[in-house]
Amino acid sequence: MRKKSLELQYLETLAQRTKLSFAEQQQLVADQKGFQGESAVDYLTQAILPTQTEMMDDVNLCVDGKRVQIDKLIQVGRKLYLIDMKNYHGRYSFRNRTWYHNGKPLTHSIFSQIERAHDILARIFAEHHLVIEVVKVIVFTNPTAVIEVDDHSGIIVKYLWEYCDWLQKLCHEEEAANLSWKKVLQNYCVAPYRPVEDFSVDSRKIWQGICCPKCGNFWWQQERFALQCKICGYREAKETAYVRTICDYGTLYFRQNLRLSEVTQFFGNGYNRRYLAYTLKKHFIPLNFKGKQFAYRNPGETFEFSFKNQQRNFKQLEQRVNWKCSPRNNN
């Protein structure tokens, strides 16, 4: 499963709790569309390629202090396809080494990111004496985009609807080869880029408490094992709701560790501090701080991604949604 970018997770979490600025709102929409496009490419790729195909998604590399982010790498035969996905709309053309958008020259090249990624990959493989041709491919995921590229770019440009056909033909032509590119790249993989500052420096007021994932409200009927949204009736296991909201805190305050006092403040009035302490202890990794400094490691991402390997456990917790407070169900 492709992860949403950290920026998208941050903006979606923020949008639940405050009014976004115009720029944030625009960024959120662009990120959401980008993610949809990338997910569509993932889905089609998986449907077309044999299951044993060597691939990597959303790769962040750092070489000599230079960072690069790559959307997708697919090995077919002895070639490595470097896929860059663009969610542009409007009319773009590339003539005489210049990009035009709706007829006006662009100040940046749409190719620059993929060229850079290509050069960094080529350099890494050369250093490791790995012979593999890196082929540059840009997929335009927005169906409304019109792209005209002259033939001299050395880059394969595809619309989403052409991509399937192209990929299908490709894997019929090539024989599988055993190359160690994934292992080589592991040495250069780094965590995705994060801005220097988190929500701590923002003075906007945000809604405190647990946000209903169905309707976005903050009013709950609290029971012993479950919460019920007073607006839409959505029921959620109490433990899941608490962990999910701690992750919301962690996503917005990604530079901070998880401290009980600060997390309690984020929940606001009406929530149980002792239960919060219990939830932190049960689900988060303690850091080696003493006394008042004591804190847990902040995964810095939303519940969906921070706990993606424990989704089965949380599914089981959801059985509690129908538990009533009778002692029979306490064990």
Q: Which stretch binds Zn ion (CB under 5 A): 99-107, 114-122, 224-232, 300-308?
A: 224-232
Residue from 8, 212, 237, 246 binding Zn ion (CB under 5 A): 212
Residues 42-61 that bind Zn ion (CB under 5 A): none
Residue from 78, 89, 123, 214 binding Zn ion (CB under 5 A): 214
Torsion sign (Cα): 15, 18, 21, 22: positive
The span from the first CA to the last CA of the chain, in angstroms, equals 35
Residue from 85, 229, 247, 258 binding Zn ion (CB under 5 A): 229
How far is the C-alpha of 222 from the C-alpha of 279, rounded, in Å?
16
Q: Binding residues for Zn ion, how many (CB under 5 A)?
A: 7
Q: Which stretch binds Zn ion (CB under 5 A): 13-21, 98-106, 159-167, 225-233?
A: 225-233
State the nearest-atom distance from the C-beta of 216 to Zn ion, in Å.
Answer: 7
List, in sequence order, the alpha helices (H) in the chain: 6-17, 22-48, 112-127, 160-173, 181-186, 238-252, 260-267, 273-283, 303-306, 311-317
- Paired residues of 227 in beta bridges: 222, 236
State the nearest-atom distance from the C-beta of 138 to Zn ion, in Å.
Answer: 41
- Paired residues of 114 in beta bridges: none
**Quick one: 220 or 253, whose CB is closer to Zn ion?**
220
**Quick one: 192 or 216, whose CB is closer to Zn ion?**
216
State the nearest-atom distance from the C-beta of 98 to Zn ion, in Å.
Answer: 51
**Quick one: 75 or 240, whose CB is closer to Zn ion?**
240
Residue from 215, 277, 285, 325 binding Zn ion (CB under 5 A): 215
Pairing of strands 226-229, 156-159: unpaired
State the nearest-atom distance from the C-beta of 217 to Zn ion, in Å.
Answer: 5
211 binds Zn ion (CB under 5 A): no
**Quick one: 16 or 113, whose CB is closer to Zn ion?**
16
Q: Which stretch binds Zn ion (CB under 5 A): 1-9, 76-84, 221-229, 274-282?
A: 221-229
- Paired residues of 296 in beta bridges: 258, 286
State the nearest-atom distance from the C-beta of 220 to Zn ion, in Å.
Answer: 9
How far is the C-alpha of 5 from the C-alpha of 35, rounded, in Å?
8
Residue 53 CA, distance from chain mean position: 22
232 binds Zn ion (CB under 5 A): yes
**Quick one: 215 or 285, whose CB is closer to Zn ion?**
215
The DSSP secondary structure of 258-321, one letter per residue, reads B-HHHHHHHH-TTS-HHHHHHHHHHHSPBPS--GGG--B----S-HHHHTGGGHHHHHHHGGGG
**Quick one: 234 or 305, whose CB is closer to Zn ion?**
234
Residue from 234, 305, 314, 323 binding Zn ion (CB under 5 A): 234
Please answer whether residues 5 and 194 qualify as being in contact, where contact means their C-beta atoms are separated by less than 8 angstroms. no
135-146 burial, b if ≥16 CB within 10 A, otherwise e? bbbbbbbbeebe
- Paired residues of 80 in beta bridges: 75, 134
Q: Which stretch binds Zn ion (CB under 5 A): 9-17, 88-96, 209-217, 237-245?
A: 209-217
State the nearest-atom distance from the C-beta of 231 to Zn ion, in Å.
Answer: 5
Query: Which residues of this protein are in contact with Zn ion, per CB under 5 A?
Result: 212, 214-215, 229, 231-232, 234
